[in-house]
Amino acid sequence: MGRKVWLNGELLDREDAKISVFDHGVLYGDGVFEGIRSYGGKVFRLEAHVRRLYDSALGIRLTIPVSQQEMAKAVAGTLDANGLKDAYIRVVVTRGAGTLGLDPNRCPQPTIFIITDKISLYPDELYERGLDIITAATMRNHPNAVNPRLKSLNYLNNILAKIEAIDAGTLEAVMLNHLGYVAECTGDNLFIVRDGTVFTPPTAAGILEGITRNEIIDIAREQDIEVREENLTRQDLYVADECFLTGTAAEVVPVVRIDKRPIGTGKPGPITKQLAEAFRRRTRE
């Protein structure tokens, strides 16, 4: 069965789902998006993802012409139309087609599309033995330039750091903020464990407040594991007992080396495994 794409209220074959070359999402990266997961045909934390999408749109003064409830129905309907159970869902809202030039008022109608596809995770062996990552020279965007809490279509900042990771032979890179503190990775939030306490950068460090990140914080506290949202330096990463990343696609993946330095024992740690297993149980319930 060919994949269907939801585009401005219609379900189209993916080959027929096209947008204008004058769309400001293409011309200027003017738009917002969300990445969402489904498990067993049920969309995970759909309400939270849709709310964050609308918050991002509000942040760039983009009015989405359907309600949050209608958007949630469209996501579920697109998933159902494609017959997918465990899937990745991408919801995109652009400023819409307009004229050349930055003026958003020249775009009379936003473009909305929803893509569903099979999920692409890190290879299974990396969940068993852990990731090697680096710290990138590319700095996280200054929060007063582009607020990292806006999940916008302009991901060049992340892409440049991702290129550094690929050049170093790794799959991820830690990005530091303008003050030199740890922010997040190119596509995932970051956690460390030290003396039984879990630490993660606060939103003020210039991170996207991840849905999976928040889920892991909730799970840890339910299991009486202390979680602190504090500024972290590279040195904090190097001396951590454990490190792991979280994200919609990645879920919970352990990190065992940063900048060629082993983290803890150089193997995924017990708290990482405990939280990953708890998250897996929660999403499969």
Query: Residue 191 above 70 pLDDT?
Result: yes
Query: Residue 131 above 70 pLDDT?
Result: yes
pLDDT reported for residue 178: 96
User: To the nearest whole number, what is the mean pLDDT of the chain?
Assistant: 96
Percent of the chain with pLDDT over 70: 100
pLDDT classification of 198: cutoffs 50, 70, 90 = very high
Q: Shortest CA distance to 132 belongs to which of 3, 263, 255, 266?
A: 255
Name the residue with higher pLDDT: 124 or 182: 182
Query: Residue 121 above 80 pLDDT?
Result: no
Structure tokens at 111: 């473009």
Question: What would the mean pLDDT of 138-151 be, rounded to a whole number?
Answer: 92
Residue extents of the structural domains in the chain? 4-118, 124-284
Q: What are the angstrom distances between the C-alpha of 23 and each of 53, 98, 146, 274?
A: 19, 6, 21, 45
pLDDT classification of 239: cutoffs 50, 70, 90 = very high
Question: What would the mean pLDDT of 143-152 be, rounded to a whole number?
Answer: 90
Query: Residue 261 above 70 pLDDT?
Result: yes
pTM, two decimals, is 0.94
pLDDT digits 0-9 by tens, 87-104: 999 999 999 999 999 999
Rounded Cα gap, residues 50 and 45, in angstroms = 9
Name the residue with higher pLDDT: 152 or 148: 152
Phi-psi category of residue 28: left, alpha or beta, with phi > 0 → left and psi -120 to 50 → alpha: alpha
Catalytic, 4? Answer: no
pLDDT reported for residue 275: 98
Query: Residue 273 above 80 pLDDT?
Result: yes
Pairing of strands 242-247, 251-258: antiparallel
pLDDT digits 0-9 by tens, 17-58: 999 999 999 999 999 999 999 999 999 999 999 999 999 999
User: SS3 of 168, please?
Assistant: coil
pLDDT digits 0-9 by tens, 224-233: 999 999 999 9
Burial environment of residue 145 by CB neighbours within 10 A (0 to 12, 13 to 18, 19 or more)? exposed
Rounded Cα gap, residues 192 and 145, in angstroms = 28
Query: Residue 120 above 80 pLDDT?
Result: no
C-beta separation of 66 from 125 below 8 A: no
Rounded Cα gap, residues 243 and 261, in angstroms = 12
Residues 6+ apart with CB under 8 A from 198: 191, 192, 217, 220, 225, 226, 227, 228, 271, 275
Query: Residue 1 above 90 pLDDT?
Result: no
Residues 6+ apart with CB under 8 A from 24: 30, 31, 94, 95, 96, 97, 98, 104, 107
Is 4-118's fold the same as 124-284's? no
CB burial string 179-209: b at 16+ within 10 A, e below:
eebbbbbbbbbbbbbbeeebbbbeeebbbbe
Among 85, 151, 260, 273, which one carries the catalytic annotation? Answer: 151
Tell the residue number behind the tokens 């080396």, with chain if given: 257
Sign of the CA dihedral with 195 first, then 272, 267, and 165 last: negative
Q: What are the angstrom distances between the C-alpha of 247 and each of 27, 30, 159, 282?
A: 28, 23, 16, 15
Query: Residue 148 above 90 pLDDT?
Result: no
Q: Which CATH number fits domain 4-118: 3.30.470.10, 3.40.50.880, 3.40.50.1460, 2.60.200.20?
A: 3.30.470.10
Specify the CATH class of 124-284 in words: alpha beta
